[in-house]
């Protein structure tokens, strides 16, 4: 954890973040992480970024798809409407029994780059729902980072490393033309028709036609397993439909 202040700004901030500031021994000397956090910050999104390390755990719960554009990313779909996360309840809790994506757990912390110094420093969103002077796990003690503070830094560093590996995987899929756009047309339990677009999936036929040497290289990098996990995850749409039913029934009763 660094004591160096920074005015580093990002042209476009990542999902959930609006004004992350460097974690500083003086500014945050009395700040603590809350053990019972609120996930309200994630309630208004239907997709969150995913890294390869967690794909085996997440594929059983969420459809895992790829974003559109020249630099595709891997995301978990957590809702069927753009402003609704079906896994976050009105009380801010994450739906029990489902793994929480690392990107969601990392918040409010994040590594930001100091361009002039070519290094990364730990920053955080000063979100009262996750951290504050009324939390339980201190970031600093006697001006030094606590074990909890160091663990947060290590978590963010590991996440960044995995994110880079994930981007390499996505870039390879893009360059080999394996990603195809798809649209999901869904009829909800309340007979509402929803059309979800703006995402891509791996073309299984093209994947199976990869040259043997490419397939062997991907197997060494554990990418073959990631492809199969992604394809399996596409059977999780029913999870989202069932959760929408849970919300629509109480609303209809009201």
Which DSSP string do the residues of 33-77 spell out, in sequence order?
E-SS---GGGTT-SEEE--GGGHHHHTTTS-EEEE-SSS--EEEE
What average pLDDT score do residues 85-103 get?
Answer: 96
The mean pLDDT of the chain is 89
Per-residue pLDDT, 245: 79
pLDDT for 189: 64
- Per-residue pLDDT at 7: 32
pLDDT attached to residue 27: 95
At 196 the pLDDT is 80
Whether the upstream peptide bond of residue 108 has omega within 30° of 0, thus cis, is: yes
Q: What is the pLDDT of residue 22?
A: 95
Residue 1 pLDDT more than 60?
Answer: no
Q: Domain ranges for the chain, please list them.
A: 21-253
What are the structure tokens assigned to 155, written together? 């978590």
Tokens 């997709």 label which residue? 47
Residue 73 contacts by C-beta under 8 Å, 6 or more apart in sequence?
49, 66, 67, 166, 167, 170
* pLDDT number for residue 97: 94
- What are the pLDDT digits (tens) for 4-62? 323 333 337 899 999 999 999 999 999 999 998 999 999 999 999 999 999 999 999 99
Between the CA of residue 126 and those of 108, 109, 187, 218, 219, what are the distances in Å? 7, 9, 39, 41, 42
* pLDDT tens-digit map of 153-196: 999 999 999 999 999 999 999 999 999 998 887 776 667 777 78
């Amino acid at each position: 954890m660094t004591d160096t202040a920074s005015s580093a700004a990002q042209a476009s901030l990542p999902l959930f973040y609006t004004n992350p500031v460097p974690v500083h021994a003086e500014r945050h000397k009395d700040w603590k992480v809350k053990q019972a956090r609120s996930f309200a910050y994630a309630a208004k999104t239907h997709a969150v970024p995913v890294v390869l390390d967690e794909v085996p755990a997440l594929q059983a719960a969420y459809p895992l798809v790829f974003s559109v554009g020249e630099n595709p990313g891997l995301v978990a779909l957590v809702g069927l409407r753009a402003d609704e996360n079906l896994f976050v309840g009105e009380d801010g809790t994450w739906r029990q029994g489902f793994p929480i994506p690392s990107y969601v757990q990392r918040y409010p912390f994040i590594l930001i780059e100091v361009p002039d110094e070519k290094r990364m420093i730990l920053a955080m969103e000063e979100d009262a729902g996750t951290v504050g002077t009324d939390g339980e796990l201190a970031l600093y003690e006697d001006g030094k980072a606590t074990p909890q503070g160091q663990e947060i830094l290590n978590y963010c560093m590991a996440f960044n490393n995995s994110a880079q590996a994930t981007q390499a995987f996505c870039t390879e899929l893009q360059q080999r033309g394996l990603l195809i756009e798809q649209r999901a047309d869904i009829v909800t339990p309340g007979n509402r028709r929803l059309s979800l677009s703006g995402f891509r999936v791996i073309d299984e036929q093209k994947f199976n036609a990869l040259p043997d040497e490419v397939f062997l290289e991907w197997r060494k990098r554990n990418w073959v397993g990631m492809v199969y996990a992604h394809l399996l995850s596409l059977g999780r749409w029913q999870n989202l439909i069932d959760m929408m039913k849970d919300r629509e029934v109480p609303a209809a009763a009201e």
